[in-house]
Amino acid sequence: MQVTAGMVKDLRERTGAGMMDCKNALTEVDGDMEKAIETLREKGLAKAAKKAGRIASQGLVNLGFSPNGSKAVAVEVNSETDFVAKNEEFIDFVANLADIILKSDIEDVEALLTQNYLTEGTVAEVLTQKISKIGENLSIRRFAKCEKPGVVNVGYTHGGGRIGVIIELETAASYDEVSAVGRDIAMQVASMNPRFLDESCVDPEYLESEKKILIQQALNEGKSAEIVEKMVIGRLKKELKETCLLEQKFVKDGEISVAQYVENAAKSIGKPIKVVGMIRYEVGEGIEKAEENFAEEVAKQMNK
């Protein structure tokens, strides 16, 4: 019986095994779908399917840069536990993915899955193999690319890859000249987690929503309507100083803002520097996490 692409796709969806593994299994059993599933299970290649429903909220963020900082990428790959996130094989896998993204023109995870991973097959196939081998659900969650003319990218990772930050600096200076400045700003973003670059980047809907909340808070405090507007303007400005990177107090020197730090650094180097973008990835942010205690997590690992 001829094995079609549709049959391979169906088997892959049902087992989570790699495309070539599915094709070989179907060929081996003359196209019998149920026997092909049994074959993959016997070979341990269908394990990934059983793990696909588990929540993968741990993991690692890796950053990749071209030598002169003109290109940069950030990628997040999730695992179920922190144990796996510290596994050397997992760490190498994420680093290699960053390198693949950096050297290609792909724009989304779906395209990444079709790329060749070293000489081991496609990224999708290797991911499935690692899920089977490591014994946990793994997920390539997202990646971002930074490549703008006249921009030098500098990064910083915190907590062994728990947080990764890329700072985009528009400047005529070289990477070596601005690397320390960029790293300082990236550390600021990692620790203070600003939502916006500056006031000009603030989402109007966010601004309006915050204004309504602050107005209601002031009214609830019993303030008269006449003075509420002035109070809200003051409180909003204070909040923006906390949520906008360039308005924040510089962590390394609380006497100046981040904007002032950048200005001082530019004067010292003798070349203009402008922060034009930032990427901040924190592992598992926004993912619903399973409520488990440490003892239960260890017990699960011991029983695998």
Whether residue 36 has pLDDT greater than 80: yes
Taking a C-beta distance cutoff of 8 angstroms, is the pair 242, 248 a contact?
A: yes
Q: Which residues contact 81 (CB under 8 A, 6 or more apart)?
A: 58, 136, 297, 300, 301
Say if residue 46's pLDDT is above 70.
Answer: no
Which residue, 244, 237, 279, is CA-closest to 258? 244
Residue 296 has pLDDT above 90, yes or no: no
Please report the DSSP string for the chain in residue order: -PPPHHHHHHHHHHH---HHHHHHHHHHTTT-HHHHHHHHHHTT-SHHHHHTTS---EEEEEEEE-TTSS-EEEEEEEESSHHHHT-HHHHHHHHHHHHHHHTS---SHHHHHTSB-TTS-BHHHHHHHHHHHH-S--EEEEEEEE--TTEEEEEEEETTTTEEEEEEEEESS-HHHHHHHHHHHHHHHHHH--SBSSGGGS-HHHHHHHHHHHHHHHHHTT--HHHHHHHHHHHHHHHHHHHBGGGSEETTEEEEEHHHHHHHHHHHHTS-EEEEEEEEEETTTTPPPP---HHHHHHHHHT-
Q: What is the pLDDT of residues 84-110, one digit of tens each?
A: 889 999 999 999 999 999 999 999 999
User: Over the chain, what is the mean pLDDT?
Assistant: 87
| Phi, psi of 118, deg, nearest 5 | 50, -125
The pLDDT of residue 304 is 47
Per-residue pLDDT band for 51 (boundaries 50, 70, 90) equals low
Q: What pLDDT, in 10s, does the model give residues 57-82?
A: 899 999 999 999 999 999 999 998 88
More confident residue, 132 or 296: 132
Inter-axis angle of helices 204-220 and 225-243, to 10 degrees? 130
Give the per-residue pLDDT at 115: 97
**pLDDT range class, residue 172, cuts 50, 70, 90:** very high
Kindly report, residue by residue over 178-212, the tens digit of the pLDDT: 999 999 999 999 999 999 999 888 888 888 888 88
**What is the per-residue pLDDT for 55?**
64
Residue closest to 297 by CA, chosen among 93, 33, 80, 13: 80
Give residue 293's pLDDT: 46
Q: Tell me the percentage of the chain whose pLDDT exceeds 70.
A: 89
Distance CA 12, CA 124 (A): 11
Q: Are 214 and 221 in contact (CB under 8 A)?
A: no
Range in 39-53, 114-128, 144-158, 212-226 with the lowest mean pLDDT? 39-53
Q: Which residue segments constitute the domains of the chain, with CATH numbers given? A: 5-51 (1.10.8.10), 58-196+276-302 (3.30.479.20)
How confident is the model at residue 177, as a pLDDT? Answer: 97
- The percentage of the chain sitting over the pLDDT mark of 90, rounded to a whole number, equals 57
The model's pTM is: 0.74
pLDDT band with cut points at 50, 70 and 90 for residue 9:
confident
Does residue 294 carry a pLDDT above 60? Answer: no
Average pLDDT of the segment spanning 239-248: 90
- Using alpha carbons only, how large is the chain's radius of gyration in Å? 25
